[in-house]
Chains A and B, each alone.
Chain A
Amino acid sequence: SQKIEQNSEALNIQEGKTATLTCNYTNYSPAYLQWYRQDPGRGPVFLLLIRENEKEKRKERLKVTFDTTLKQSLFHITASQPADSATYLCALVTGNNRKLIWGLGTSLAVNP
């Protein structure tokens, strides 16, 4: 069956460290993958997109990697800050209809 999985357990890290979140998928051939941030009581906010032929994408303190062999994307936040605390969602775009398939999200808490 087709699945997209993110760390179900909350990730707690110390301010200044690098946070790494994982998105794994099975039985999909994604065209690309998107990462979103969601704060409590708000809708998801788009952060980054990475295509199947790209290994890595960066935006300020954010870095995303995409390994189609491992069927995995990693999302890194370097020099993390308490303001980075939120839930992070990955979404695959797959198929001719370009439908988004969403993970359940990983909660990140950055402690001062």
Chain B
Amino acid sequence: DAGVIQSPRHEVTEMGQEVTLRCKPISGHNSLFWYRQTMMRGLELLIYFNNNVPIDDSGMPEDRFSAKMPNASFSTLKIQPSEPRDSAVYFCASSHGQGAPGYTFGSGTRLTVV
């Protein structure tokens, strides 16, 4: 398996633009997580899917953020409109369940909003 695949690796966009981040989890993993990482706050869970269904979206900061998982092999995180304070590294991770031993993370998307 190629691991968790995220795209793009880097994204620079202007404030107000729509940003879409993509993730392909590991085949057979039934849980998918979107995290945001900053120096000040570390890893913050944005949303958690189990079997393609959103279970916990309490970490989604505002209505500007939305996430979908249309099937077991693909998920998107969308920010519309983007703001400079959204600049961070966004990680997707998958596992055999929330809290299961060993989440597998993608390499992340570094988002810069100018």
Contacts and interface: CB of A to CB of B under 8 A. Distances in A.
Interface of A: 31, 34, 41-46, 49, 89, 93, 97-100, 102-105
Nearest to B91: A43
B114 interface: no
Interface of B: 4, 42-43, 45, 56, 91, 93, 97-108
24 contacts: A34-B101, A34-B102, A41-B107, A41-B108, A42-B107, A43-B93, A43-B105, A43-B106, A43-B107, A44-B43, A44-B103, A46-B102, A49-B101, A89-B42, A89-B43, A93-B99, A97-B98, A98-B97, A98-B100, A99-B45, A100-B98, A100-B103, A102-B42, A104-B42
Given A43-B4, A44-B105, A46-B104, A100 B45 contact: yes
B113 to A, nearest CB: 19
Given A98-B100, A100-B45, 17 more contacts: A31-B99, A34-B102, A41-B108, A43-B107, A43-B108, A44-B43, A44-B105, A45-B105, A46-B104, A49-B101, A98-B98, A98-B99, A99-B56, A100-B98, A100-B99, A100-B103, A102-B43
A42 B102 contact: no
Contacts of B4: 43
A91 to B, nearest CB: 8
A49 B98 CA distance: 14
Nearest to A45: B105
Contacts of B91: 43-44
A42 B108 contact: yes
The 9 closest A-B pairs by CB, nearest first: A98-B99, A43-B105, A46-B102, A104-B42, A93-B99, A102-B43, A49-B101, A98-B98, A43-B91
Nearest to A42: B107
A63 to B, nearest CB: 17
Contacts of A100: 45, 98-99, 103
A102 B36 CA distance: 12
